[in-house]
Amino acid sequence: MTHVPAGSSPPSPRPFRSIRIQTCSRPAPPQAPSRSRTSPPSPSHGDRLRRSTATSWRRSRAGCTRRSSGGASTRAPGSGRRTWVPGIVALQRRFEPRAGDVLLASLPKCGTTWLKALAFATAARGVYPPAAAGGDGRHPLLRLNPHECVPFLEGIYLDEEEAKLDAAPTPRLMSTHASYPNLPASITEDDRCKIIYICRQPKDMAISLWHFMNCSKAKTSSLSDDQWESITMSLSDVWESIREGAYLGGPIWEHILGYWNTSKAKPDKVLFLKYEEVLRDPTKNIEKITEFIGQPFSDAEKEAGIVESIIELCSFEKMKASGANSTGSLHMMANEYPHESFFRKGVIGDWVNHVTPEMADSLDKFLSAKFYGSGFTFAE
């Protein structure tokens, strides 16, 4: 990635939602990728991905129920719902990297929304100054949810929005919940693509997912376009899904270690962040991000308070109070997520209010064994 000299204006991404395309100009994607580019995953890899994910999905949904508008609650089947697997397979086959690409990766409910806001505000500061630092109050993060600024790659391919991705200016900010082995080789083997990963203490992660899922709605093939069903999930099922390696797709220890090990072997490829550390020292970690993507703050920017302005713009309190995040919903992969559900507490250690010390200790010991010898530890 090209390093931006201090004092110059860095290239800036645009909110994905604001990108406009000519609908008739893009031909249908080829059925098979060119052999001159990165080869597609072998059938055995695709089959393994589908089988393992289907198994994990069934297990993680085993305790999940759906509630229709009439109030009746029924067991939510694993079939009939769209999942992210087809999007991942399409991503593996068709993604074309570009110099300057930045991918934000995480497990669900690990600070993804906040990282998107911080990364967008930082990378786009040349075009969209933070409101507190001379902006006009129309910053995209004041009128759009962070997920509308930085899209999920698997969602792009599932919803057939590749043309918008192609039309996005460089640098492109994208995100994923996919594990490192499930990323396409066009990302993992191309040094032009950088990855920022964020993880979170799993006890807080589980509590956050539990609340989030119970605010969400889903659509199945049996429902008409305007019918949605509420999702309900018990805390014990979320807790056990972690131990069973079925946390919305697979073992969390494999997901974390895939990025952790790569960050140690290729520190210029993967920047590994911990939610708790970013929360305690946002300035230090925002500066890490800017250095990593080749857009460090100049002395003039620091003196002008740009770093503090970004922290203020992306603060939990400001984002939660924003009209863009207190109303409306995000529709993705046949699910509906109220914008406000992405902003619950934003604190460390809320798990103590929901689980017993015995449950916490049991999970800690279980995961400690899984990470033994890796050098990785969760922040507290």
pLDDT digits (tens, 9 = 90+) for 282-301: 999 999 999 999 999 999 99
Helix then strand then coil, in percent of the chain rounded to 5, is 45, 10, 45
Most confident of 41-50, 193-202, 343-352: 193-202
Strands 329-332 and 229-233 turn out to be unpaired
Distance (Å, whole) CA 191 – CA 194: 7
Distance (Å, whole) CA 54 – CA 48: 10
Domain boundaries, the chain: 85-370
Average pLDDT score over residue span 325-339:
59
Contacts of 211 (CB under 8 A, 6+ apart): 341, 344
Structure confidence by residue, pLDDT tens digits, 165-223: 999 999 999 999 999 999 999 999 999 999 999 999 999 888 888 776 665 444 444 44
Both tokens of 60, joined, read 């993680």
Residue 105 has pLDDT above 90, yes or no: yes
Q: How far is CA 249 from CA 55, 192, 336, in A?
A: 8, 28, 19
Structure confidence by residue, pLDDT tens digits, 227-237: 445 556 678 88
pLDDT-derived band at 246 (thresholds 50, 70, 90) equals confident
Both tokens of 86, joined, read 């087809």
pLDDT of 133? 46
Closest by alpha carbon to 304, among 170, 130, 146, 138?
130
Residue 88 has pLDDT above 50, yes or no: yes
pLDDT of 2? 46
Structure confidence by residue, pLDDT tens digits, 126-181: 999 986 544 556 889 888 888 889 999 998 998 889 999 999 999 999 999 999 99
183 or 86, greater pLDDT: 183
Least confident stretch, 79-88, 106-115, 248-257, 371-380: 79-88
Distance (Å, whole) CA 259 – CA 284: 21
List phi, psi (to 5°) of 352.
-65, -20
Q: Answer yes or no: 339 catalytic.
A: no
pLDDT of 223? 43
Average pLDDT score over residue span 308-324:
79
Distance (Å, whole) CA 35 – CA 361: 50
Residue 71 has pLDDT above 70, yes or no: no
pLDDT-derived band at 58 (thresholds 50, 70, 90) equals very low
Residue 342 has pLDDT above 60, yes or no: no
Least confident stretch, 90-94, 159-163, 271-275, 338-342: 338-342
Residue 70 has pLDDT above 50, yes or no: no
CA quadruple 21, 101, 4, 287: dihedral sign: positive
284 or 54, greater pLDDT: 284
Strand partners, 106: 198
In degrees to the nearest 10, what's the CA dihedral of 344, 241, 337, 94? Answer: 130
Average pLDDT score over residue span 21-36:
50
Closest by alpha carbon to 179, among 254, 244, 241, 91?
254
In this structure, are residues 40 and 33 in contact, taking their beta carbons and an 8 Å threshold?
yes
In this structure, are residues 202 and 252 in contact, taking their beta carbons and an 8 Å threshold?
yes
pLDDT-derived band at 239 (thresholds 50, 70, 90) equals confident
Least confident stretch, 12-21, 114-123, 339-348: 339-348
Least confident stretch, 18-22, 121-125, 290-294: 18-22
In this structure, are residues 289 and 118 in contact, taking their beta carbons and an 8 Å threshold?
yes
Average pLDDT score over residue span 88-102:
93
Closest by alpha carbon to 377, among 249, 203, 256?
256
Give the number of other CB atoms < 10 A from CB of residue 332: 19
pLDDT-derived band at 330 (thresholds 50, 70, 90) equals low
Of the listed 147, 177, 211, 339, which one is catalytic? 177
pLDDT of 333? 55
Residue 104 has pLDDT above 70, yes or no: yes
130 or 272, greater pLDDT: 272
Give the number of other CB atoms < 10 A from CB of residue 132: 17
Give the number of other CB atoms < 10 A from CB of residue 190: 18
In this structure, are residues 222 and 68 in contact, taking their beta carbons and an 8 Å threshold?
no
CATH class, 85-370 region: alpha beta
Distance (Å, whole) CA 234 – CA 219: 20
CB half-sphere exposure, 44, CA atoms < 13 A: 0
In degrees to the nearest 10, what's the CA dihedral of 109, 53, 97, 335? Answer: -50
Distance (Å, whole) CA 259 – CA 270: 7
36 or 252, greater pLDDT: 252
Cβ contacts of 317-320, under 8 Å, gap ≥ 24 = 319/113, 319/114, 319/117, 319/141, 319/146, 319/343, 320/346
3-state secondary structure of 231: strand
pLDDT of 331? 58
Share the mean pLDDT of the chain. Answer: 77
Rg (CA), the chain: 20
